[in-house]
Amino acid sequence: MVDLIQILVDALSVGGLYALTALGIGLIFSVMRLANFAHAEFVTIAAYLLFAFSGQPLVVALTISIVGAVLLAILTERIAFRPLRNADAATMLIASFAVSMFLQKLLVFSVGSRVKTLDPLPMLSGPISFGGVQISALKLATIVVCAVLLMGLTFFLKKTRFGLQMRAAADNFTMSRLVGVRANTVIAIAFGLSGFLAAVVALLFAAQTGFVQPRFGLQLVIIAFVATVIGGLGNLPGAAAGGFLVGIISTLLQAFLPPDLRPFREAFLFTAVILVLLARPQGLFPARGLKERV
């Protein structure tokens, strides 16, 4: 029973990180049909900002990290993607790779490639006891933060004017523009929210790993892309569900695979992903109007 509770907490914690990352990716894809590989650098740069201001109170460092990630995301859209908005999908994809590589190499040039230790949440390093069960305080905090953000994003999308405009744009962007939705505003908000989610993921992921380096967000974003595809490209609830599903599968593989097979956990994970996509090529929750793009 104790092991089952710990596995459940691990699965929800990992799945929550993947879900938040997948949502950051899905927000952009839903309104632009753009697979934004530069999201990995949004996470990485947010983590470096936490490192740069690690001597300051957490509120100050986190605020600077969030503001920096949001501004970076909005500037990336304005400078790199807006001029190419009418280009074909292949051009947009190449631009996304180019922005990702540019930001990554800029980081290496600016701060070097060496790993830097980072512990932004030392107050959560200890365990919490529940009825004799020792559970990581950091993992519990990760679950709570992910749940709060998922509920907050749901409220934003369903109850606010800009959220409703984003949902309308995700379903049918052309029709939304005809009834008065401003494309530039909706896309800028989507990128801003993507940067905000990247900063939160950077905080939680850095607290779990204890380090930051120029490829810090890459592996996380690759798996989150897989989660987005499983959930259904362009479907935000599907992206979150895919993130949790991938996190649960990954945790179960880590827990139940024989020790000599655990280094190959990702191979088993992607095998499971292939099986899901063979059964549901469009994802578990396919979005409406997926072929349309801004």
Q: Is residue 252 part of a domain?
A: yes
What 8-state DSSP symbol labels residue 287? P
Determine the pLDDT at residue 290: 54
Q: Which residues contact residue 160 at a Cβ distance below 8 angstroms, ignoring those fewer than 6 apart?
A: none
Q: How many CB atoms lie within 10 A of CB 1?
A: 8
Structure tokens belonging to residue 56: 């300051």
pTM of the entire predicted model: 0.90
What's the CA gap between 89 and 35, in Å, rounded?
Answer: 9
139: three-class secondary structure by DSSP: helix
Q: Is residue 285 part of a domain?
A: no
94: three-class secondary structure by DSSP: helix
The residue count for the chain: 294
Low-confidence ranges of the chain (pLDDT < 50): 292-294
- Distance spanning both ends of the chain, measured CA to CA: 50
Q: Parallel, antiparallel, or unpaired: how do β-strands 133-136 and 127-130 relate? A: antiparallel
What's the one-letter identity of residue 120?
A: P
Determine the pLDDT at residue 271: 87
Q: How many alpha carbons lie under 13 Å from residue 205 in its C-beta half-sphere? A: 30
Q: Which of 110, 107, 113, 140 is nearest to 125 (CA)?
A: 140
What's the CA gap between 86 and 200, in Å, rounded?
Answer: 31
Q: Is residue 27 part of a domain?
A: yes
Q: How many alpha carbons lie under 13 Å from residue 142 in its C-beta half-sphere? A: 29
Checking 123-131 for CB contacts under 8 A at 24+ apart, the result is 124/207, 130/5
Q: What are phi and psi of 133, to 5 degrees?
A: -95, 125
Q: Is residue 214 part of a domain?
A: yes
pLDDT tens readout for residues 52-108: 998 899 999 999 999 999 999 999 999 999 888 778 888 888 999 999 999 999 999
Determine the pLDDT at residue 48: 95
What's the CA gap between 47 and 41, in Å, rounded?
Answer: 9
Determine the pLDDT at residue 148: 93
Chain-centre distance for alpha carbon 215: 15
Where residue 226 sits, what CATH number does that domain have? Answer: 1.10.3470
Determine the pLDDT at residue 43: 96
Q: Is residue 218 part of a domain?
A: yes
- Tally of domains within the chain: 1
Q: Which of 81, 5, 17 is nearest to 223 (CA)?
A: 17
Q: Is residue 204 part of a domain?
A: yes
Determine the pLDDT at residue 293: 47
pLDDT tens readout for residues 215-235: 999 989 999 998 888 888 777
Q: Is residue 288 part of a domain?
A: no
Q: Is residue 290 part of a domain?
A: no
Q: Which of 196, 137, 187 is nearest to 162 (CA)?
A: 187
Determine the pLDDT at residue 68: 96
What residues make up the domain containing 245? 2-279
Determine the pLDDT at residue 57: 92
Determine the pLDDT at residue 172: 67
What's the CA gap between 43 and 197, in Å, rounded?
Answer: 8
